[in-house]
Amino acid sequence: MEELWQIYDEQGRPLENKGAERGDIFGKGLLHGASHVWICRLNKGVAEILLQKRSATKETWPNLYEFSAGGHVQLHEKPLMAAVREAREEIGIHVAESDLRLISVQKVYMTTENGKIENEFQYIYLYELRSEINFTLQNSEVAALQWQTLEEFKHALESNPTNFVPHGNLYFSTVINAIEFELANRHP
């Protein structure tokens, strides 16, 4: 049996014991949740962001860049738990819930290039990486990881927006502002 994703009401509350399979979610546009983890670091005093290139076999937006790790919230799962699980599954890192900072929740309705409907609450988390780590990629989800300086990322969003999942200006500016704030006000 395929995993069930948690269904939400319009106010962002999970509907008790209400889940649906991927096909129904994408086909009917059912309101669900997704957790996105953006990993940042200071490298020799320069702010960097870790981008994920989606696998060529992904059902939606194959080969495009986006968050460091992320995915959909499963039935009875909290968004924070989903963020921790997705970071472990997709890129092989173990993060504590307390290390993730919720920076935004955005309600989004998008139709993908192949007609799938993404009607979701996006729980956007920030994680500051403070030491070297070896990532282990889940090849069915992630083609590659790439560190970019925050300035390179801003430039790429402006000059080549079609290389990224179309989350929109508000989404990306929220992430950039949060990273700039986090790294400028970091606690040793």
- Domains located in the chain, CATH noted: 5-184 (3.90.79.10)
- Pairing of β 117-128 and β 32-43: parallel
pTM above 0.75, yes or no: yes
Q: What is the pLDDT along the chain (188 residues), one digit of tens a residue?
A: 679 999 999 999 999 999 999 999 999 999 999 999 999 999 999 999 999 999 999 989 999 999 999 999 999 999 999 999 999 999 999 999 999 999 999 999 999 888 999 999 999 999 999 999 999 999 999 999 999 999 999 999 999 999 999 999 999 999 999 999 998 887 55
